[in-house]
Amino acid sequence: MKKKQVLEYRVYELQPQFPVLLLDGDAWRISPQKSGRLHFHNCLEFGFCHSGSGQIQIGRETFPFSSGTVTFMPQHLPHTTWSNEGDTSLWSYLFVDLRGLLFQTMANDEDYEFIHSQFKPDQSIITASKNPKAHFLTNNILDEMRAQRDNHDLVIRSLFLTLFCVLKRHFSNQPNHPSASQNVPGSGLALAPAFQYLYTNYMNPIRIEELAERCHMSQTHFRRLFLAIIGVSPLQFINALRVDRAGLLLTSTSETILEIAQSVGFASLSSFNRHFIKQKGMTPRDFRNMNQKLETGNKDQTRVLKYTGWTQADP
């Protein structure tokens, strides 16, 4: 019997006002030892290779990288990175919620559809020769994140907006061939159609049966595979996604808590409060008040509330 591939789901909870996390420095050297399992994230990942060379596995495909390579990994895409024998490549990583970061400029979820619908694994690897603009913009974002100069948050938002548009243009100009979720069946990628649907329809009533059908599975198999890979049930994941979206609205709009609860898909205010407290550790009102204080308080205060993903490179 073929051994089932085990994937790791790495979760990063980013601060709603500025949902960008930088992992940087000498600790982020990737060894030649390949990880025993692929992983994927709850947010977009941008990587920048400063030195060294090696391989990146995306689903079942493997691609080379070298110094200067930029990588772009959508939320649902399983991958892992390792260096060539005798080498330890040095990387910086940016984790970002683009919807949250660009909310006031691009609030329509359909604007982000291309990330999932048009993405192909080979487009994850971006070189200076292939796309000099994307390479330049990513390097500038890293510089701004490190330096934290005056108005760096505005500059970074602008750079990400430009990078977003450059990548959208880049993807639309590529030959039409099967996307990652179509090309690589099984394991985590088998759930990709469900993730794609959830990211743009979380605010609507969602039937597990429909998610299973989108992945061409029975409900029983879908629930079992989802729990094995993600670590929570589909319903728990849906509620967590709704709470994350609510956190964004609480800190970026003046809508009432009831209006926000309804807009992200909760049937009642009591249900919303219960799930919000369970996930965030505080009420929606306290969350809004706390983030308003952060916005007007110390600008040097950390922008990351917490993250439960990896904090160092795979061994």
Per-residue pLDDT tens over the stretch 25-70: 998 999 999 987 788 887 889 999 999 999 999 888 899 999 999 9
User: Are 78 and 58 a contacting pair, CB within 8 Å?
Assistant: yes
Mean pLDDT for the chain?
81
State the distance between the two ends of the chain, measured CA to CA, in whole angstroms: 28
Q: How many whole angstroms from its chain centre is CA 11?
A: 9
In the chain, residues under CATH classification 2.60.120.280 are 8-179
User: Are 17 and 294 a contacting pair, CB within 8 Å?
Assistant: yes
Percent of the chain with pLDDT over 70: 79
Q: What is the pLDDT of residue 307?
A: 32
CATH, range 185-296: 1.10.10.60
User: Whole-angstrom Cα distance, residue 235 to residue 212?
Assistant: 13
- Is a pLDDT exceeding 80 seen at residue 18? yes
CATH, range 8-179: 2.60.120.280
Q: What is the pLDDT of residue 189?
A: 65
In the chain, residues under CATH classification 1.10.10.60 are 185-296
- Is a pLDDT exceeding 80 seen at residue 112? no
Region 136-164 average pLDDT? 95
Using only C-alpha atoms, the chain has a radius of gyration, in whole angstroms, of: 19
Percent of the chain with pLDDT over 90: 44
Alpha carbons within 13 angstroms on the beta-carbon side of residue 312 total: 4
User: Whole-angstrom Cα distance, residue 41 to residue 7?
Assistant: 11
148: left (phi over 0), alpha (psi -120 to 50) or beta: left
Q: What is the pLDDT of residue 115?
A: 61
Range picked from 49-53, 162-166, 172-176, 223-227 for highest mean pLDDT? 49-53
